Structure 1
Amino acid sequence: MRKCLLLVAALGVMGGLAVAAELQSGLAKGEFVPAFFVCDVTGPAKGEELCYRCKYGDRPVVTIFTRVMTPEVTQLAKAIDGVVAKNEDSRMAGFVVVMTEDPDKVKSELTAAAEKAQLTKVPLTTFKGSDGPAAYKINKDAEVTVMMWVDGAVKVSKGFAKAKQLDKAAIDTLVADTKQILD
């Protein structure tokens, strides 16, 4: 009986982890990607408010929406930075959007993260408001949402309840998912 209870408990925990990993956040596959404005903190338009969605147009784009800038998010940004660098011929682009009520408060943290990770292709930006752009349907329970689009339509949208879920396997999967916007 004890073994049966342990098995049921283990399956319950594993089921809970699977649900956490499959958090729906962001626009659904096929949905149109609307314009929104961010403040560029580390990129080529440093200090300016702009619409990277508009600037990148129909190009293949990876956008990381996050409420926290953790080492895991920085590692994901670094991995995407590498993919963007390798796919310059495809005009691939990417950017990170930190959604916060106080953008000025996180600017030094973003600058330090970009320098430490040696990001050269993926600018770190801020969006005023912890909910993110309303039209993007960012789940309030997601610390991180990754969306990939090309030709103005979403191809990949994945939410993570906690940034700590961005382990090597999750990052490798997201890097592999970029093929969906490059093919």
Structure 2
Amino acid sequence: MRQLVSLALALAVLSPSFASAEELKSGLEAGKGIAPFYVTKTVGAEDDGVPCGKNLCYRCKNGARPQVMVFTRSTDEKVVALVQKLDEQLAAHEDAQLRAFVNMLGDSKDAATDSVKKLASISKVKLVPFVVPNEFENGPEDYGINPKADITIILANDEKVVASHAVAAAKDLDVDSVIKDINKMLN
């Protein structure tokens, strides 16, 4: 009996370390509606008609168009790769009116602003706007962003979630899987 209790205790302690990045729940589930939330545009997408420093609802500006909302706490190279791929997707799917924007989360608005400027500078993209949500610590409350998620990505079309991706550590992000879901959403 003592061995059984020891085994159960060991499994309980070790099991979280075996959970895959795919199992992290963060963000809205497929089929859910996407509510408005406000952000401050910090940098990027110079031709989208929104001046830097403006507070607006990008989700609303994008309307029912297909869109990718990235919520990140990281400037990791995987996030940079994702943003660069998103920029390519925006150019490739201009006819489908694909939209995207990157929300930087942080402990303070200043820290999030500094991080998003760094991410924009490193990624060197042209079409993606970089923003800081008014609810900068964890994103919009009704979006269910997990505080343990380094990155949460929500793909939506017709104002409903089509797919989402989340990882606890940015290094675990499968950029190709996100791009595959974008293409699936558009076809």
TM-score bin (small chain): 0.7 to 0.9
* Alignment TM-score, normalising by the size of structure 2: 0.82
Q: C-alpha separation between the residues in 2 aligned to 1:131 and 1:86? A: 31
Q: C-alpha separation between the residues in 2 aligned to 1:155 and 1:106? A: 27
Q: Is the 8 A contact 2:30 2:164 kept in 1?
A: yes
- The counterpart of 1:136, out of the listed 135, 138, 143, is 143
Counterpart in the other structure of 1:3: none
Q: Which runs of 5+ in 1 are unaligned?
A: 1-8
Q: C-alpha separation between the residues in 1 aligned to 2:27 and 2:183? A: 19
Q: C-alpha separation between the residues in 1 aligned to 2:62 and 2:95? A: 14
SS of the residue 2:184 aligns to: helix
Q: Is the 8 A contact 2:104 2:136 kept in 1?
A: no
Q: C-alpha separation between the residues in 1 aligned to 2:172 and 2:68? A: 18
SS of the residue 1:149 aligns to: strand
Percent identity at matched positions? 32
Q: Which moved more, 1:64-73 or 1:130-139?
A: 64-73
- The counterpart of 1:98, out of the listed 67, 84, 104, is 104
Q: Is the 8 A contact 2:105 2:112 kept in 1?
A: no
- Segments of 4+ in structure 1 off by > 6 A? none
Q: C-alpha separation between the residues in 2 aligned to 1:165 and 1:74? A: 13
Counterpart in the other structure of 1:85: 91
Shift of 1:102: 1.7
Shift of 1:76: 0.7
Q: C-alpha separation between the residues in 2 aligned to 1:118 and 1:48? A: 21
Shift of 1:70: 2.0
Letter of the 1:172 counterpart: D
SS of the residue 2:43 aligns to: coil
Counterpart in the other structure of 2:37: 36
Q: Which runs of 5+ in 2 are unaligned?
A: 1-10
Counterpart in the other structure of 2:3: none
- The counterpart of 1:116, out of the listed 116, 122, 134, is 122
Q: C-alpha separation between the residues in 2 aligned to 1:68 and 1:51? A: 22
Shift of 1:154: 0.2
Q: C-alpha separation between the residues in 1 aligned to 2:178 and 2:81? A: 12
Q: C-alpha separation between the residues in 1 aligned to 2:87 and 2:112? A: 20
Shift of 1:62: 0.6
TM-superposition CA deviations, 1:49-84 (whole Å, max 9, x none) = 111000000001011111222222121111111111
- The reply to whether residue 57 of structure 1 matches residue 57 of structure 2 is no
Q: Is the 8 A contact 1:61 1:181 kept in 2?
A: no
- The counterpart of 1:16, out of the listed 5, 15, 18, is 18
Shift of 1:139: 1.3
SS of the residue 2:146 aligns to: coil
Q: C-alpha separation between the residues in 1 aligned to 2:103 and 2:112? A: 11
* Alignment TM-score, normalising by the size of structure 1: 0.84
Q: Is the 8 A contact 1:67 1:100 kept in 2?
A: yes
